[in-house]
Amino acid sequence: MAANYWASTQRRHWLFTREKLADIRDGLRERDKVTHSQFPLPDQRLLNIYFNQQLIKLGKRMSTRQQAIATAQVYLKRFYTKNEIRQTNPYLVLTTAFYLACKMEECPQHIRFVVGEARGLWPEFITHDVAKLGECEFALISEMSSQLIVHHPYRTLTELQTDLSLSSDEVALGWSVINDHYLTDLPLLHPPHVIGIMAIIIAVVFKPAHPGNFGNSAQSALAATMRDGGMNNLAYALSDKTGPGAPRIHKLVQWLAESDVDIKAVVECTQELLSLYEVWEQYSEKHCKELIGRMVKSKNLDK
């Protein structure tokens, strides 16, 4: 539920172990080996970056809130644990996820408007027919068993802002880190409060050199710092409860020690984020676009 993550369908049905998630994906691949070898796709995280950029483009002209984009990204992840991406038109699925997330996050957009905007962006992949999106909405809801309420880590960040006396720069950086975690499998692997705390730690430990301008993603601000021995700083800060270090970090570490938060999980999340920033350097929008386009066109998935 909204207040109660512990009883939520998100915790009961949409939280996986790493092994389980790998099994599910292997299963999808096994079912359709031929298509898999015929249509290679980039690393899942690179695809996620591409999808996220498309969602942001779609949301831009409709003044959509970040949380609706985040919910749409979670819907995509859930949907693709049940369906092989190569059997779908990803442009239709992401437009539908966006349309549904906007309704769920109480910033609804008219279906005709959404289809119109999507056609403006990807005319070769989205038809005029709004019924296509309506039908895809049925598939999306059905595959998610109508479990549409998503708990986001943004709330942990804002709730702890005062307790941990976070500066506005730290909150902004933490917010961008949360935006970035949707590009990984983390939303399917860890509860939102663990992600939220990871974002706070990163924001406090890796104080960015040029505060105030992180944009949507924290990648540019953090990638280099985290790579250049930043992880050691983090491990050091977290393991040493009494030693020196900045008083801000000291206070945070103490707070963590007193809370019930799973520190191991937080560290794991941090590593996942670091590896996202590494893989990000290989990202090419053009490459993703070509591979997806070829797959959709040759399989007639847009028909």
Partner 1 sequence: MFTPLSTEALDASRRPGAYVSKVRVRDRYHIVGFISSGTYGRVYKAIGKNGQKGEFAIKKFKPDKEGETIQYTGLSQSAIREMSLCTELSHANVVQLEEIILEDKCIFMVFEYTEHDLLQIIHHHTQPQRHAISAPMVRSILFQLLNGLLYLHTNWVLHRDLKPANILVTSSGAIRIGDLGLARLFYKPLNSLFSGDKVVVTIWYRAPELLLGSRHYTPAVDMWAVGCIFAELLSLRPIFKGEEAKMDSKKTVPFQRNQMMKIIEILGLPRKETWPGLAAMPEYPQLQSLVLHRQPAHFHRGPNLEGWYQSCLKNGAYSASSSVGTPGADGFDLLSRMLEYDPVKRITAEQALEHPYFANGGPISGNCFAGIESKYPHRRVTQDDNDIRTGSLPGTKRSGLPDDSMMRAAKRVKE
Residue 267 buriedness (CB in 10 A; 0-12 / 13-18 / 19+): middle
Among 29, 53, 108, 268, binds partner 1 (CB under 8 A): 108
Among 107, 121, 263, 291, binds partner 1 (CB under 8 A): 107
For residue 190, which amino acid is it?
H
> What are the tokens at 28?
């999808």
Classify residue 228 by its DSSP letter: I
> How many residues make up the chain in this entry?
303
- Least distance (Å) between residue 105 CB and partner 1: 5
Among 40, 134, 215, 243, binds partner 1 (CB under 8 A): 134
Count each helix (H run) and each strand (E run) in the chain, helices first.
Answer: 17, 0
Q: What is the distance between the alpha carbons of residues 302 and 225, in angstroms, rounded to a whole number?
A: 42
Minimum CB distance to partner 1 smaller for 147 or for 216: 147
For residue 50, which amino acid is it?
Y
Contacts with partner 1 in 214-273 (CB under 8 A)?
A: none
Residues 185, 226 contacting (CB under 8 angstroms): no
- Least distance (Å) between residue 274 CB and partner 1: 31
- Least distance (Å) between residue 146 CB and partner 1: 5
For residue 179, which amino acid is it?
N
* 8 near partner 1 (CB under 8 A): yes
Minimum CB distance to partner 1 smaller for 131 or for 235: 131
The residues of the shown chain that bind partner 1, judged by CB under 8 A, are 1-4, 7-9, 65, 67-68, 87-88, 99-100, 103-111, 130-139, 141-142, 145-149, 155, 301, 303
